[in-house]
Structure 1
Amino acid sequence: MSPAGGSGAVVGRDSELEVVRSALADVAAGRGGVVLVEGEPGIGKSALLRGGLADAADLGCQVGWTAADELSPRFPLRLLLDCLDSERARADRDPAGVPAALIGHRPRSAATGGDPLAAAVDRALTIVAKRCTDSPVVLVADDLQWADETSLLAWHRLARTADQVPLLLVGAYRPVPHRAELDALRADAVARGALIRLRPLPAGAVAAVVAVLAGAPAGAGLRSLAEQAAGNPLYLRELVDALKREGAVTVEDGQAELVDGWTRRAPASLTAAIAGRLGFLSHNATTALRVGTLLGPEFSVEDVATVLQLPPSALNGVFSEATAAGVVTAGDRLSFRHPLIRHALYGEMPAAVRSALHRHAAQTLAAAGASVERVAAQLLPAGPAVDGWVTGWLVRAAPELSDRAPAAAADLLERASGQVAVGAATWAELTGALARVRFRLGCDAEAPARRVLTHTDDPVLAAEMRWIIAERLLRAGRYRDALRVAEQGQEQPEVPVVWRARLAAMSARILSTTADDLDAADETAQVSLASARACDDRVAIGYSLLSLSTIALMRRDQAARLSHLDDGLELLADDLEQLELRLLLLGNRTLALSILDRFGEAEQTLAAARDLVDRRTGYAGLARFHAPAAVLHFWTGRWDEALAELDAARDLPDNPRVAPIAAGIVSLIACHRDDRATASARLAKYRDEPSAPAFDVANRGFLIGARAALAERDGQPAQALRAWREVLQPRYAQMERHILMPAVVRAALAVADLDTAREAAELCERDPGRVTPGRAAAVAHCRGLLTGDLDLLASAGCYLRTAGRVVEYAGNCEDVAVLLAQRGERAAAKSALAPAMEVYARLGAQWDLRRAAARVRAFGVRWGARGPRRRPASGWAALSPTEVTIARLVAQGRSNPDIAAELLLSPRTVQSHVSNILGKLKAQSRVEIARAVLIHG
């Protein structure tokens, strides 16, 4: 508790102060961290932070400090952006606003563009990362219980990087009201031992505070009255100040005591004590301060003057009075000394008066050119009534407000659309805007969209609403319903040709991933493409080509798939409006090239996508590339990179169509590295959906391989074969299962099941689709295993080595070695096994090393200690080549975003790599990584 309210000694919090000061010392030394302070109102959270962080600037730290309020949850990134640059933020923009430079491009309709707020979060985090390379950064956020969800998400992501950079995150919050979004931050602080729970001050500390406030040690009567504050520092201060204002305290013989005959009781609550302080203000000061309460925890004299329609000079005296009374503190902007003081002033106004003042403030601020967020901040608490000015402003401001504060826009649009008469001039516009913003938020956009369909006669608006409904149904897995809506939209007689083409493209998208009849899906997509080209709509053309590429995938025609994707990318090459679609096409192109074993081109495609993202400054669409990159890295034997990509996607929303790929790769690598716990845990979290469309079934290859590998690792070869047999079912014919067939044949031969081995080999050869070089090699591998033909095995191995399929090549070498060992050619077997063991050692595949040695040992071949050694689990030698490169860039003082841009990785992936480097080097900061680089060159 700081008795002066802004400075002074903090009494009774020595151990808590030490935690904060220790964290500050650590960040000044280059080691980041997190501190979270929990406590009731007035318990001293803010004072503790002021005292503990008082030396931050002197230690060379950049400090950003802000506080949330009740309206903050409606305004995304408000808290984080204020915290990033407390002073410049206030000078350059409205306090509630999100800078246009961070929001970026705004899409024209629900059918185009992505989420600009997700991009803004990435850009804000990039700002933090780059500032950390200049000097240590301390970000302080008070009243986190009111923080907006977007800022809390960003705060949580920053907390995950705090161990990697000189960044100290300090937050304070009240446990009531409970915010579920704070649970993750609290759990992280508990795990770090960095959660401070502020309890009531002990009796000794209470006595010390009263002595400071009263000017002398307290006598028995004053101490007894002070006990009613229950150890709450703010209540204690308000109580003593009230007694002094009333002349109820006298100091005699070095002791402060209640005056004789003073019989009034202490205020019944902290709120009552604060109300007593406010009672000493003049009428003019109270009026001005009440307007200030409307504007938030901080405000300017100019803001209040605008609302009161007075010159700012007319208010100088009243705010001087308020400052002298201890109600507000002066600075670049005015702020209430404590949130409870603001709440008391605000609560004194009758509800009708508050609503009228908010409504008046909204209109005056709008007329003065304030941002849409600031106007919305006044309309939100103004009450349910909506008049003509409000609806007119909402119609004009809805597109911008929906991008910059979608939750606030949704609330205001819902309120307005519910009060405007259906059929009125603005009703359809308001309800359509409500559907768009709810669609953006991932909420129930279907209901308002259907209401618009029922009452509008605007064919463009109706078509857009059908698109929203179909997209929502598609994402919910209601494929038939989505298709019905899209088809009904195309049948409407007055639908514009552009929207008819877009709805046709929607139908093609749905059928391409759900239809059993690929010919019918192909016909729909071709018709969609023709109509899209006829009206020259890039959205419809792009999605039609994407659908055709998906159909080619299901037909196992990767060349045709690639052709459609390339056509789409050529069409959209200079179209920033369709950035989301371009990234979707690039992600699919990466996978197509990987399946064709054109890994170099796949790497180039990933690089092009990430370069595009980098030029867009942190565009959040990069998240879709973690899975394609992981697949590419797995097949080419860069398992640490694959895991880093999937770890980077850990806090992203689950994509049900990517989940089996991610679970399978993580489980496979864990099993090969003899980490059974991780492998089984990941497999247990994923459950197959028996009725899943063929498109989803085709993504299960890694998952099936992981289940089989885990069974084999556990010494259950029959169970392993049972797992592999799933891939032989007809519904997997549309999967590129030739990649898996050598492993199926190998598992069948291990239990002498020749029928299954032959079936797998025949399916590898006879499956529909073009025979690519990779598939031909797989056929040779299967036939070589079945017949014991070394030439066939060698031919397959030559292709796998040349193509860069590192993992399959190692398995082929192992198969050759076993066959030679069976023939008694021990020296040749050992020579053939060497490349496999080299690969396994480099991959850290301990189980493979053990298994391969056991397979040849059965035929008298001993793999001695002179073979390749396992990569150690810690130390410099444990780093992968990519991690070595990143460590060297860290040593140069480069930030994660800068490293990501140079290596064409995502910042999240670099973050994951840096975390792994710290763990392997047992380092606590980037400084220690740099020291290791210097030692090891």
Structure 2
Amino acid sequence: MTELTGRRSECDVLDQLVAAVRAGESRTLLVRGEAGVGKTALLEYLAGRASGCQVRRAVGIQSEMELAFAALHQLCAPMLDRLDSLPAPQRDALRTAFGLRAGPAPDRFAVGLAALGLLSETAGERPLVCIVDDQQWLDRASAQVLAILARRLGAESVGLVFGARVPTADLAGLPELPVEGLPEDDARALLESALTGPLDAPVRDQIIAEAHGNPLALLELPRGRTAAELAGGFGLPAAATVPSSTASSIEESFRRRVGVLPAPTRQLLLLAAADPTGDPELVWRAAARLRVEADAAGPAIEAGLVEFGIRVRFRHPLVRSVVYQSAPVPMRQTAHRTLAEVTDRELDPDRRAWHRAHAASEPDEDVAGELERSAGRAQARGGLAAAAAFLERGVMLTPDPARRAGRALAAANTKFQAGAFDAVPDLLAAAEAGPLSEFEQARADLLRAQLAFVTNRGGDAPLLLTRAARRLEPIDAGLARATYLDALTASTLAGRLATPGGHTLEVARAARAAPKPPDDPRVPDLLLDGLAANFNEGYGAGVPFLRQALTSFGIGTSPEEELRWLWLTTLAALHLWDDERWDVLSGRYVELARRAGALSELPLALSTRSMMLLFAGDLATATDLTDEGRAVIDATGSQFAPYAAMGLAALQGRPATVSALIESTAGDVAERGEGIAISVAQWANALLHNGLGRYPEAMSAAQQALHLQEYPDMHYPGIANWAAAELVEAAARSGATGTAEGTYRWIAAMTSASGTDWALGVEARARALVTEGKAAEAAYEDSITHLGRTRVRAELARAHLLYGEWLRRQRRRTEAREQLRTAQDMLEAMGMAAFAERAGRELRATGETARKRTATAAASRELTAHEAQIARLARDGLSNPEIGARLFLSPRTVQHHLGNVFAKLDITSRSQLGHALPQYGG
């Protein structure tokens, strides 16, 4: 293939990518740069060099951004004959997303996993290179799924390469190939290669200067110039001087070239530009209605602006944009109206509605109603962004003020669900400009409060939610109670940074006066009554309500309702020290958030689950979920503190990482009023310093974490339990006996009412730290017994460590070694490096050299966290497709990782994993 001028290094990168894919690896790459800089040429080079590979393409089209999964369908359409090879849930999700079957809205992750399966199956026959150009114009659903794919490719022999001017946040962190302007010598060579006649030196220099090395500009700027202009020695006329922006320069060149075309040709190009499908038959049918003859395409083809083949393809996206934007509005409306007339209302009703909407010159209830129906179909396919776009357009076309206000409210709600938070305030304003019923106004207030909660996680949200709840009391008592519960959630997250009137105790007092449920209390009612009692009357008063809520949760409720209340339910389990239910509910939370494609909820679900796994000692899986949460946050642009990441880094004993996370968190959460993050940060700091044996620093951090409540006697759910446990240990080791004993009594008041093994184990461990002699020894043994019955293995390992340290100080070295060896083995297997090193130091102090890991766990042979996670799931009996579905990997990648596991552990079958895995947290 002809080498691109001045692009040797970029071509080398693409050649290496193809070589890796041919060798059985997967690669992702983001090719980014300004319009016309040569991204598409490089992608064409890639396609040409991919001999021996299959090449599949998709391109983002600005006018198609409202159609859910449009770009993903472009990419996957040639592979749909392999759908039957996918597991049924994935197959159904993809068919629903593509409108091939009716069904409930598919989970975005299930669609992504299905697409991953298709790519993997296709690449199984021959390596596959997927090229996605103009990524910045992908529809939202496709952009999210393709970004997920890019992060989950493994050993499928797939290359996924994006081209983008300004890539969306979905692709943050992917390997990049920045494409910049050509150096002057290469720019000069490219310009001269495109010229057919002499070029005056000053003109050449001006073109090169104005093009800034942009290849498309270098090729376009001389077009349309007369020989005299190019070679006459007078330079370019002042009137033709190019605008300062390179993109504007190119657009102006295309605008001149389009402007001189015959009227029928311009009309044909407008039809093609207005139709995002690139379907030539559709374009020609529309052209026939406008009496545009077939020979009208000739001048545009000869000018190099468009190709009419299997698809209609413009030379560059800027050509499409120039053709469309330069046409008068009435001509655009005519084009859309004609395209709507020739679009099949049965086979493609949504695109027909979209064209009708763009053709409308005034409000039209018939078109608005059709858009509303399209929104319903889009939402059923999981296309919330598309549904919101249809509704938003419908608002503008609705003539009746009351109906327009109602649709604006529906559009605002759908935008909110889709995570397009920036659009919600304007739509709410449009809704409130029209007549709203009292109930609709209350819903608008509620949506505004929910928006404040999701975007800021604190600050004004508790107060706004409390006000919305009060407004709902005489209208809908059930919704009012649910809103009070949301207000308590918001106040929990806002903590000390809540706006006055929105502090937790203030919200709890308002909630206590809420109307009682008309029927038997449901789980949300029990949660509300339990939390209100906890804050108003004390820990013990809330326990019966919260325990009944946990017992009843999930019985006779829909998945949607479960998802609605799962965070507070997991919080209740944590508050009650119920590790068993915390484990089950946090897993369910992630499952439902993924299934629903609830990207605004998923980061909180992943963080909640990760926190549970940290206490369980499964740091490997917690790392995976933390990384996934970061990707979702980046994709949605939501604001969310790195709760689990701070705890993970603390347990791993990484001071620099913890400090960096705390520093970045402090400024962010202070701005948006997310006070609980300050306490989580200080708890993580205390955890880190206790692990490192820096007890005064741990004590100070734990005290700051416990300052969360404005009211000193308030038993605050969540991290207060954890921070108190850290404070007892740090204070006891720092000689601050009074602080240790006072905090122990605070813990004991809770744990006696809770009575779970986790609670009693932590209470016994704290009691041992503040007592001496046989009472301390009995307390340590009680702690180990209770914690040994729980899922919180990290707590158990620390109990062994503390007991071993106590025994060493009693000069009972043999017994101390037994406890310290147990602690070190557990802590090393979990990856709790600082605590493991602390156990090692104590072992050395007993006169024993701390044991090293066996040869099978030598650095070069250790399993990665990802391999260990896959190995554990395989050991537990999951098949490769089941592991892939759990971890969002293709079965082929799972098999690749298992091959590495078998080699590193020197085993040959899954049946041997049980014996080989214990040192990996098995």
Q: After superposition, where does 1:640-655 map in structure 2 within 5 Å?
A: 640-653=620-633
Structure 1 residues 852, 552: CA separation in 2 closer, same or farther (over 3 Å shift)? farther
Matched, 1:101 2:96: yes
Pick from 53, 63, 71: which aligns with 1:60? 53
Paired residue type of 2:450: E
SS at match of 2:61: coil
SS at match of 2:554: helix
Q: After superposition, where does 1:314-393 map in structure 2 within 5 Å?
A: 316-319=294-297, 323=301, 326-346=304-324, 349-359=327-337, 361-362=339-340, 365=343, 370-373=348-351, 375-376=353-354, 379=357, 385-387=362-364, 390-393=367-370
Q: CA deviation at 1:741?
A: 5.2
Q: Work out the CA distance in 2 between the residues paired with 1:683 and 1:482.
A: 29
Q: CA deviation at 1:849?
A: 3.6
Structure 1 residues 569, 710: CA separation in 2 closer, same or farther (over 3 Å shift)? closer
Q: Work out the CA distance in 1 between the residues paired with 2:27 and 2:744.
A: 56
Would the aligned equivalents of 1:328 and 1:334 in 2 still touch at CA under 8 Å?
A: yes
Would the aligned equivalents of 1:466 and 1:489 in 2 still touch at CA under 8 Å?
A: no
Would the aligned equivalents of 2:357 and 2:393 in 1 still touch at CA under 8 Å?
A: no
Which moved further from structure 2: 739-748 or 26-35? 739-748
Paired residue type of 1:138: V
Q: CA deviation at 1:570?
A: 0.7
Equivalent position of 1:809 in the other structure:
796
Would the aligned equivalents of 1:800 and 1:808 in 2 still touch at CA under 8 Å?
A: yes
Matched, 1:168 2:156: no
Matched, 1:744 2:727: yes
Q: Work out the CA distance in 2 between the residues paired with 1:739 and 1:279.
A: 70
Q: CA deviation at 1:449?
A: 4.3
SS at match of 2:633: coil
Equivalent position of 1:123 in the other structure:
111
Would the aligned equivalents of 1:470 and 1:486 in 2 still touch at CA under 8 Å?
A: no
Percent of aligned positions with the same letter in both sequences?
Answer: 21
Pick from 740, 747, 756: which aligns with 1:772? 756
Q: Work out the CA distance in 2 between the residues paired with 1:461 and 1:106.
A: 34
Equivalent position of 1:79 in the other structure:
71
Matched, 1:781 2:765: yes
Q: CA deviation at 1:560?
A: 4.0
Paired residue type of 1:787: E
Q: Work out the CA distance in 1 between the residues paired with 2:784 and 2:878.
A: 43
Structure 1 residues 625, 876: CA separation in 2 closer, same or farther (over 3 Å shift)? farther
Pick from 619, 638, 656: which aligns with 1:677? 656
Q: Work out the CA distance in 2 between the residues paired with 1:689 and 1:241.
A: 51
Pick from 36, 39, 53: which aligns with 1:45? 39
Would the aligned equivalents of 2:683 and 2:702 in 1 still touch at CA under 8 Å?
A: yes
Q: CA deviation at 1:630?
A: 1.9
Pick from 14, 27, 31: which aligns with 1:33? 27
Pick from 512, 516, 523: which aligns with 2:505? 516
Equivalent position of 2:482 in the other structure:
505
Structure 1 residues 766, 656: CA separation in 2 closer, same or farther (over 3 Å shift)? farther
Equivalent position of 2:919 in the other structure:
none
Pick from 832, 840, 851: which aligns with 1:845? 832
Paired residue type of 2:186: P
Q: CA deviation at 1:594?
A: 6.3
Matched, 1:662 2:654: no
Matched, 1:818 2:801: no
Pick from 819, 822, 826: which aligns with 1:835? 822
Q: Work out the CA distance in 2 between the residues paired with 1:346 and 1:753.
A: 75
SS at match of 1:816: helix
SS at match of 2:162: strand
Q: Work out the CA distance in 1 between the residues paired with 2:218 and 2:428.
A: 55
Q: CA deviation at 1:875?
A: 3.3
Pick from 840, 860, 867: which aligns with 1:875? 860
Q: Work out the CA distance in 2 between the residues paired with 1:169 and 1:316.
A: 38
Would the aligned equivalents of 1:846 and 1:870 in 2 still touch at CA under 8 Å?
A: no
Q: CA deviation at 1:228?
A: 7.3
Q: CA deviation at 1:649?
A: 0.9
Q: Work out the CA distance in 1 between the residues paired with 2:223 and 2:838.
A: 78
Could you report, residue by residue, the CA deviation over 1:804-847 in whole angstroms, capped at 9, with x for unpaired residues? 43223233223333333333332232233221222223234343
Structure 1 residues 592, 886: CA separation in 2 closer, same or farther (over 3 Å shift)? farther
Equivalent position of 1:143 in the other structure:
134
Structure 1 residues 371, 704: CA separation in 2 closer, same or farther (over 3 Å shift)? same
SS at match of 1:571: coil
Q: Work out the CA distance in 2 between the residues paired with 1:226 and 1:827.
A: 87
Which moved further from structure 2: 43-52 or 606-615? 606-615
Q: After superposition, where does 1:570-609 map in structure 2 within 5 Å?
A: 570-572=555-557, 575=558, 579-585=559-565, 599=579, 603-605=583-585
Q: CA deviation at 1:793?
A: 1.9
Structure 1 residues 473, 161: CA separation in 2 closer, same or farther (over 3 Å shift)? closer
TM-score (norm 1): 0.74
SS at match of 1:329: strand
How many residues are treated as equivalent by the alignment? 843
Structure 1 residues 686, 558: CA separation in 2 closer, same or farther (over 3 Å shift)? farther
Q: CA deviation at 1:9?
A: 6.5
Which moved further from structure 2: 325-334 or 390-399? 390-399
Q: CA deviation at 1:127?
A: 0.9
Q: CA deviation at 1:626?
A: 1.9
Q: Work out the CA distance in 1 between the residues paired with 2:52 and 2:344.
A: 43
Q: Work out the CA distance in 1 between the residues paired with 2:756 and 2:41.
A: 69
Paired residue type of 2:702: W
Structure 1 residues 611, 630: CA separation in 2 closer, same or farther (over 3 Å shift)? closer
Would the aligned equivalents of 2:37 and 2:214 in 1 still touch at CA under 8 Å?
A: yes
Q: CA deviation at 1:342?
A: 3.6
Structure 1 residues 438, 808: CA separation in 2 closer, same or farther (over 3 Å shift)? closer
Paired residue type of 1:290: L
Structure 1 residues 608, 196: CA separation in 2 closer, same or farther (over 3 Å shift)? same
Would the aligned equivalents of 1:373 and 1:405 in 2 still touch at CA under 8 Å?
A: no
Q: CA deviation at 1:582?
A: 1.6
Q: Work out the CA distance in 2 between the residues paired with 1:818 and 1:275.
A: 80
Equivalent position of 2:282 in the other structure:
302
Would the aligned equivalents of 1:32 and 1:165 in 2 still touch at CA under 8 Å?
A: yes
Would the aligned equivalents of 1:542 and 1:581 in 2 still touch at CA under 8 Å?
A: no
Structure 1 residues 291, 240: CA separation in 2 closer, same or farther (over 3 Å shift)? same
SS at match of 1:171: strand
Would the aligned equivalents of 2:21 and 2:157 in 1 still touch at CA under 8 Å?
A: yes
Structure 1 residues 433, 849: CA separation in 2 closer, same or farther (over 3 Å shift)? closer
Which moved further from structure 2: 267-276 or 544-553? 267-276
Q: Work out the CA distance in 2 between the residues paired with 1:240 and 1:453.
A: 53
Equivalent position of 2:913 in the other structure:
none
Paired residue type of 1:778: V
Matched, 1:547 2:513: no
Q: CA deviation at 1:658?
A: 7.5
Q: Work out the CA distance in 2 between the residues paired with 1:829 and 1:155.
A: 54
TM-score (norm 2): 0.75
Would the aligned equivalents of 1:307 and 1:364 in 2 still touch at CA under 8 Å?
A: no
Pick from 699, 703, 710: which aligns with 1:721? 699
SS at match of 2:617: coil
Q: Work out the CA distance in 1 between the residues paired with 2:670 and 2:364.
A: 51
Would the aligned equivalents of 1:18 and 1:52 in 2 still touch at CA under 8 Å?
A: no
Q: Work out the CA distance in 1 between the residues paired with 2:187 and 2:508.
A: 82
SS at match of 1:833: helix
Q: CA deviation at 1:798?
A: 1.8
Equivalent position of 1:639 in the other structure:
619
Q: Work out the CA distance in 2 between the residues paired with 1:169 and 1:298.
A: 23
Q: CA deviation at 1:935?
A: 5.5
Q: CA deviation at 1:488?
A: 1.9
Would the aligned equivalents of 2:301 and 2:307 in 1 still touch at CA under 8 Å?
A: yes
Equivalent position of 1:487 in the other structure:
470
Would the aligned equivalents of 1:69 and 1:147 in 2 still touch at CA under 8 Å?
A: yes
SS at match of 2:622: helix
For the aligned residue pairs, the C-alpha RMSD in angstroms reads 5.2
Matched, 1:206 2:180: no
Q: Work out the CA distance in 1 between the residues paired with 2:865 and 2:252.
A: 64
Would the aligned equivalents of 1:39 and 1:197 in 2 still touch at CA under 8 Å?
A: yes
